[in-house]
A and B are shown apart, each in its own frame.
Chain A
C-alpha cells in the first residue's frame, strides 16, 4: 500500500515557496520604483504593463505588493523571533525551576494574556512613539522596527506559556534525572537536554505565531500605527485601498489575496509538519 500523501505539506511548501520567491526577487529586481507617483496612471486598470493595476497615486500595485510582502515578512519574523526567544527563556526558567518565581512570573504573564495582543502592542507603540523610552526609539528608529518590538513583546506570553508547560512535563522525566546524576549543570539540562524534546510542540506554535504576526502587522498598519507611509506593507496598502474599495476593487484585492496566501501557506506547512 502506498503511503498517504501529505497534501498539507505539499501545498503549504508550494505556497510558501511562491511567496518567498516573490519577496526574494523583490530584493534584486522591481518592475517599477515603488514610490514614484505618476498621476496619469492613477487607478489604471490591469494591463500587461501593470498586472495588478495602479493605486491612487499612480504607483504600480504589483511592485508595492512585492515590497509590502517583504516588509510584512520581516515584521512577522522579527516579532516571532522576539516573542519566541524571550518566551523560551521565561518559559524554560519558570517551568524548570518552579517555586515562587514561577508563580509571580506566570501571574504577570496571565495578566498580559488577558489583553488582546494588538492592544498590548498599541500600548508599547504609544510609549515608544512619544519618545518616552528615548533610547530604544533611537536605536530602533521608527516605522516598521517599532512595530516589531511592540508586537514581539505582545507575543511573549503565548510562547512562555507553551514552553513552561512543556518544561514542567519534561523535568520529571528520568532522562533529566539521569543528566543531573551525571553532573550536568542546570543550563545544560535546560537547553541541551530538554529543549530539543519540546521542538514537536514548539515548531507548530512558532508557525501559528508567525501567522498571527502577519495578521497583526496588517491590522496595526491598517489602523495606521504600524508601518508608516510611504513605506509599503500589505496591511498599509489594504488600509489605503479601503477608501476606493468600490471604484477600484483590484487595489484592495491583491494585497489582501497576498496576505491570505502567505498565512494559508504557513498554516498548511505547520499542519503538514505536525502530521509527519
Chain B
C-alpha cells in the first residue's frame, strides 16, 4: 500500500543546505503497524511529514519516491495530494493542547474532513461524527460533540484527534508521538485504542515514538533511525531480542529496567535533612473581579522525611500535586499550611526543562557563578575556579563555561542545571522530572550522574517523576501520590511486589511492570 524508496530530505532555508533524512526506505501493507523510533534529530518526524505531504515544497528538496496505492506523492499536484490528506491518510500529532482549534466545537472539527471529502448531508455528517467519537471511546459522544477543546482533558483531546483522523476511515494513520504529552495510565489507554482500530478497521498505523516500550507493545515492525539514517529495521521480536547494530543495542539498554533485585537500605538512623509535616495547599480562583471564589485543594496533608544520602522517589500523574509540593519545599510557594523542616539554603532544585531553566542571554560560567556572587565573599578567580571544578564534577568540558545555553545539547544543559544547583553546596536536591525532557540514552547518563554525585557529596535527593521504571532504578524509597494525597509509600521492592493501593497497581501496569522480574517478558 505504501512504498517509500530512497527518500532524501534536504533543507534549504538556512545558509547551508542540511540533509535531515538519508535514503529512507519503508514499505507498509494494508493493516500493518510499523514503529519508527529514534532520538530527537533522527529524522523520524520529517520522514512521516513527507509521507503525508506536510513538508513545505519551497524550502526543501526531496528526492526518491513515495508511492501510496500506486500514486507518486512527491510529484503529484497539490490538488491530488489534498484529495488524499484527511481521507486516505490521516495524522495525529503529539500535542493535543494545540492541535485542536480552540474556537470551534469538537463536532465541527471532527466533521471538517467529511465536509471536504464527501457530499454528505448535515444529518449524515452528524451521525458519522458521533460514530467516530464512539469509536474513539469518548464517554457521552453527543455531549462532547457540542463541547469546546478547553473543556476536555488532555487524554480526551487526543481521543478527539483520533476521532477526527478516523472519520473518513483512512487506510493509513500516521501517529507522531501521540502519547508523549499524556500521563502513563492514559498512554496505555490510547495504545489500546490504536490497537483496537487496527484490528477492527484494518487501518495501517505508522507510529513514531522515542519510547521503545510503547513501540514494543503496539507495533509489529520497527524502524530504528539515527541522525537521518535508518540504522536497523525488522520485526519487533527480532529487534528487541537480537539487535544487530551498536546503536540499537544502546537504545534498548537505556530502557530503565526493574530486573535486577535491589536491596532495601535503612536510613532511619541517618540525620533528617528535610521533613514535611501535614502540608496543605489550596488555590483560590475566581472568575473576574466579582466572580464567585472557588477553592481547589491541591495538597491535602502530605508528610514525609528525607534522610541524609537517601533518594526519595515521588511518583504521580499530572495534577496530583507533586510539582506544587516541590515549590513549597524550595520556597517558591509561600502560601501553605503545615511545617517544612530544613536548614535555610540547604535545598536546591533541578528543573524539568533544561531549555528554560538557564538564562538564555548569559554564559554558563556567569550562570554558575551567580550563587557565589549572591553568597558573597569570593574573588573573581575563586569563583571561576569553583565553576570549573563543578563542571568537571558534572562531567563537562571546561570550555563549556564560555558558551551560551543555546549552544549546548539537552543533556549538557541538564548537567549544567545540576551543577548550578550544587554550586551552593546544598544538602537536599529537589529534582522535578529532571530527565523526562531528554532522549533515552541521555536519560540513562543523567541518572548515572545523579547517582554518582549523591555518593560523592552525601546528597539527599527528592526525585519527582511520572516514570516508575526510572524511579525504581534510582530511588531508595518511593512515595506515590494521587489527588494531593500520599496513597502508598515503601521501598521499591515492596511497592513493585506487594503494593496495597489499587492506583499503584494501575501505574505499574501502565508502565509495563506487573511484578518485578517479569518486565523483560512483558
Contacts and interface: CB of A to CB of B under 8 A. Distances in A.
B360 interface: yes
A42 to B, nearest CB: 58
Contacts of B345: 183
B374 A196 contact: no
B331 A175 contact: no
Contact of A3 (B15, B331, B370): B15
Contact of B331 (A1, A173, A181, A193): A181
Interface of B: 12, 15-17, 330-332, 345, 347-349, 351-353, 356-362, 370-371, 374-375, 417, 420, 424
Interface of A: 1-4, 173-175, 177-184, 188, 193, 196-197, 199
16 contacts: A1-B12, A1-B15, A4-B15, A174-B352, A174-B357, A175-B356, A175-B360, A177-B332, A178-B349, A181-B332, A181-B347, A182-B424, A184-B374, A196-B361, A197-B359, A199-B361
A106 to B, nearest CB: 14
Contacts of A174: 351-353, 356-357
Contacts of B357: 173-175, 177-178
Most buried by B among A173, A184, A193, A199: A173
A193 B374 CA distance: 13
B371 A182 contact: yes
A44 B86 CA distance: 75
Contacts of A199: 361
Contacts of B360: 175, 197
A178 to B, nearest CB: 5
A1 B16 contact: yes
Nearest to A4: B15
B374 A182 contact: yes
B288 to A, nearest CB: 13
B359 to A, nearest CB: 5
A182 to B, nearest CB: 5
Contacts of A180: 331-332
Given A178-B351, A183-B345, A183-B375, 13 more contacts: A1-B17, A174-B357, A175-B358, A177-B351, A178-B357, A178-B417, A180-B332, A181-B331, A181-B332, A182-B348, A182-B424, A193-B359, A197-B360
Q: Which 6 pairs show the lowest CB-CB distances between chains A and B?
A: A174-B357, A196-B361, A3-B15, A174-B351, A174-B356, A175-B359
A183 B371 contact: yes
A159 B353 CA distance: 31
Nearest to B360: A197
Nearest to A197: B361
Contact of A182 (B16, B352, B370): B370
A1 B353 CA distance: 35
A217 B174 CA distance: 60
A197 B360 CA distance: 7
Contacts of B420: 178, 182
A183 to B, nearest CB: 5
Contacts of A181: 330-332, 347-349
Contacts of B351: 174, 177-178
Given A1-B16, A1-B17, A174-B351, A179 B370 contact: yes
